[in-house]
């Protein structure tokens, strides 16, 4: 080998070593950034998943990063030492894009973890519960993403149509409880298949989605709606989505029976179901599709004066509320977003019983900190409402056992309670899932 060849070989080798060194250095830097994010997520309570989340098999993962690129959310996944890892598991809303994007099938979608179980009603692959003729679709079954709920509502009705139950005189083919994504999709599919059905909603059209703040983004993927077609919209607001649903229902002459809360479902001896509403009305159906949210009824504070008309558990038309003294209670995304929607035209206080916000999105963290710095609202951590009075609220804080705060409106966002009793009275089994696989390649 000549001198020139030796020099070329040496230069090439050094160049290759430099590339490898830069690659390793970049990987270490990326790993440190991800590990720092994980530590923050741990401190803020966002590392452990609450429901549906990606599980990564590190023995298979090659660290391609395809899952990170595919995820529509921010900082759900990252890379550490050449392997994918979950960062903010509580913010995962089950898009499943990471699951589909992984080139080596290293990701499965799971419910709960080995340590933290998630209570879910028993539902099989056709969305039928352990009670024959009684189906569950959407968020209540553990899949909260709007696109998933729409698909499940449609498929559940298709399975109901194939069930083989004979029509009965004076009996509805299917009663649909809930007019959220799954209920609306189910209603459209029932119309398409020529079923005799009714759709009952305890509040207003849209269900849980209707309670979101007006500007909240609720859809990031296209979806197929029965009798309407593919909806190719991204970053869709609640208002836009409700308009689409109203249009789809209106064009197909479907009416929703609103403000009708079903308090019991009773299986009858002839394999039908009797539904009884809170206002005393009764409905008899061959099948029932339960398409309500996991939260059921909003959780309450249990304090004096909470029954007052100035207390609400959802925020509607925030732009119409002006010049009011408002207290928002809660530390999650709903509370933080609602407080920020109200702060420009009102005097807003945000009260939270813990010392820091609970698992809120990174964007909300930045925005609320900025709002606090600019004195657009006040935040009282480690605080609790003691009583709600006509013109004020008694608030317990670190500095006071009972601080009287002038007040016009109180909004409470402290979550809701799984409607376990409602389901169990109908005979539906509820079990805790500890890391159960929902989707696997």
pLDDT (tens digit per residue) in 266-285: 999 999 999 999 989 999 99
pLDDT (tens digit per residue) in 88-108: 887 776 677 888 889 999 998
CATH 3.50.50.60 fits 299-416, yes or no: yes
Query: Rounded CA gap, 273 and 133, in Å?
Result: 9
Q: What is the mean pLDDT of residues 69-96?
A: 84
| pLDDT for 402 beyond 70 | yes
H or E segment to which residue 147 belongs: helix 146-161
Q: What is the mean pLDDT of residues 104-131?
A: 86
Pick the residue with more confidence: 159 or 214? 159
Indicate the pLDDT class of residue 49, thresholds 50, 70 and 90.
Answer: confident
Burial class (CB in 10 A: 0-12, 13-18, 19+), 380: buried
Q: Where are the domains of the chain?
A: 3-115, 119-296+419-439, 299-416
Indicate the pLDDT class of residue 221, thresholds 50, 70 and 90.
Answer: low
pLDDT above 90 covers a percentage of the chain that reads 45
Do 3-115 and 299-416 share a fold? no
Q: What is the mean pLDDT of the chain?
A: 86
| pLDDT for 296 beyond 70 | no
Q: Provide the pLDDT for residue 112.
A: 78
CATH 3.10.129.10 fits 3-115, yes or no: no
CATH of 119-296+419-439, one of 1.10.3720.10, 3.50.50.60, 3.40.50.450, 3.40.50.1220: 3.50.50.60
Q: What is the mean pLDDT of residues 99-128?
A: 86
The length of the chain, given as a count of residues = 441
pLDDT (tens digit per residue) in 184-197: 999 999 999 999 99
pLDDT above 70 covers a percentage of the chain that reads 91
Query: Rounded CA gap, 178 and 156, in Å?
Result: 14
> 207 with 293: CB under 8 angstroms?
yes
Strand partners, 266: 274
> 298 with 313: CB under 8 angstroms?
yes
Indicate the pLDDT class of residue 293, thresholds 50, 70 and 90.
Answer: confident
pLDDT (tens digit per residue) in 202-211: 887 776 666 6
User: Is the sign of the CA dihedral 180, 201, 261, 412 positive or negative?
Assistant: positive
Pick the residue with more confidence: 140 or 340? 340
Q: Which of 437, 334, 422 lies closest to 107 in space, CA to CA?
A: 437
């Amino acid at each position: 080998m000549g001198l020139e060849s030796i020099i070329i070989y040496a230069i090439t080798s050094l160049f290759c070593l430099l590339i490898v060194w830069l690659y390793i250095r970049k990987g270490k830097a990326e790993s440190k950034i991800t590990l720092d994010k994980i530590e923050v997520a741990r401190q803020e309570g966002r590392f452990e998943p609450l429901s549906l989340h990606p599980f990564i098999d590190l023995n298979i993962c090659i660290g391609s990063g395809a899952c990170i690129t595919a995820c529509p959310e921010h900082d759900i996944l990252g890379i550490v030492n050449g392997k994918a890892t979950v960062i903010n598991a509580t913010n995962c809303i089950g898009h499943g894009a990471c699951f589909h994007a992984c080139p080596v099938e290293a990701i499965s979608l799971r419910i709960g973890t080995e340590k933290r179980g998630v209570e879910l009603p028993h539902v099989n692959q056709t969305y039928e519960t352990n009670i024959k003729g009684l189906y569950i679709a959407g968020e209540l079954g553990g899949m909260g993403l709007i696109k998933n709920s729409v698909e499940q509502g449609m498929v559940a009705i298709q399975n109901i149509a194939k069930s083989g139950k004979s029509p009965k005189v004076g009996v509805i083919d299917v009663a649909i409880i809930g007019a959220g994504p799954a209920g609306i999709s189910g209603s459209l599919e029932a119309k398409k298949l020529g079923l005799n059905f009714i759709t009952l909603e305890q509040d207003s059209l849209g269900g849980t989605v209707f309670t979101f703040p007006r500007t909240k983004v609720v859809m990031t993927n296209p979806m197929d709606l029965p009798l309407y077609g593919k909806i190719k919209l991204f970053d869709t607001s609640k208002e836009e989505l409700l308009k689409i649903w109203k249009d789809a229902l209106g064009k197909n002459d479907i009416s929703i029976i609103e403000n009708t809360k079903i308090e019991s479902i009773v299986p009858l001896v002839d394999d039908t179901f009797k539904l009884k509403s809170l206002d005393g009305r009764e409905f008899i159906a061959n099948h029932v599709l339960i398409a309500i949210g996991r939260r059921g009824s909003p959780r309450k504070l249990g304090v004096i004066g909470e029954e007052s008309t100035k207390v609400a558990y959802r925020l509607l038309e925030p732009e119409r509320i002006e010049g009011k003294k408002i207290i928002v209670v809660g530390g999650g995304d709903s509370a933080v977003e609602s407080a920020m929607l109200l702060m420009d035209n009102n005097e807003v206080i945000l009260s939270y019983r813990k010392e820091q916000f609970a698992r809120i999105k990174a964007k909300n963290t930045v925005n609320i900190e900025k709002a606090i710095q600019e004195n657009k609202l006040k935040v009282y951590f480690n605080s609790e409402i003691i009583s709600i009075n006509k013109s004020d609220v008694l608030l317990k804080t670190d500095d006071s056992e009972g601080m009287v705060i002038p007040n016009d409106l109180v909004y409470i966002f402290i979550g809701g309670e799984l409607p376990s009793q409602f389901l169990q009275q109908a005979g539906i089994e509820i079990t805790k899932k500890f890391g159960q696989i929902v989707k696997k390649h």
